[in-house]
Amino acid sequence: MDERLKTFEKYVAEGMTTDNMIRSLELIGAPVYDAETLENMKIYSDYLPMMKEDPYTQEQRYLHILWETIDVVPLGISCRFSIPFRRMIAEKLFKKCGTGFIASPHCTFNFGHRIEVGDYVAWNTGCFIDSKGTVSFGDNVMLAEKVTIFSHGHNEENHMERAYKPVRIEKNATLFCGSTVLCGITIGEGAEIGVGAVVTKDVPANSVAVGSPARVIREVRRDPDVDPNHFFFNKRAFQQDLEQYRRNK
């Protein structure tokens, strides 16, 4: 492991205090702020109503800032650094984070502590997870580029009135490029959501849904009992311990 990653892992294990936040920013080559500025810094999520209902701790806020900062510094281009870096943050910030999690650049969310991620989940570039109402991902879920998930909605007459409903993406499901999932939806085990689809109602297990609004057109053309072999990278980079995981399961 890169020595900088080992150092960051140590900071995360110790707790992301203000001092460790300053050290972490230095470590990744980001602008470094003084303690007072950092302690008073507010991010987008701080101004959302959910922050009053389920607020971040200061440590969670710092971890969220680091998640977004890695995408705007040169070191973020390095997969060998940035993918394990994000995973370390997710393991501490998310409500749950299983083994082998991968998040590519420019994946964003608003409340990390309201996200649950199973084993070998992967988010491709540019995904947005609105987790106000909570979002959970089962094992081996794959999100392609620019997938958007919403777990809240607005009253049409008064947009300040919001409804929060959990979204569940069950194991082995695949959401293809540009698809959108609305609040309260469950994507069933092994289901596939087509490119650009807008999912407005639950999708049954092992179904293929396409269109806007999405409709089920058929069952998946594979054995639903077989792992769909979801991997981002050649030779299972960053997920190499998968065979041991399968044996232990």
Active site residues: 154
Report the distance separating Cα 77 and Cα 40, nearest Å.
29
Q: Could you identify the residue written with the tokens 């003084």? A: 34
3-state secondary structure 45-89: HHHCCHHHHCCCCHHHHHHHHHHHHHHHCHHHHCHHHHHHHHHHH
Let me know if 240 is exposed, middle or buried by CB neighbors in 10 A (0-12, 13-18, 19+): exposed
Residue 54 sits at φ, ψ, to 5 deg, of: -145, 75
Report the distance separating Cα 158 and Cα 137, nearest Å.
31
**DSSP string spanning 122-143?**
EE-TT-EE--TT-EEE-TT-EE
Question: By three-state DSSP, how is residue 153 classified?
Answer: strand
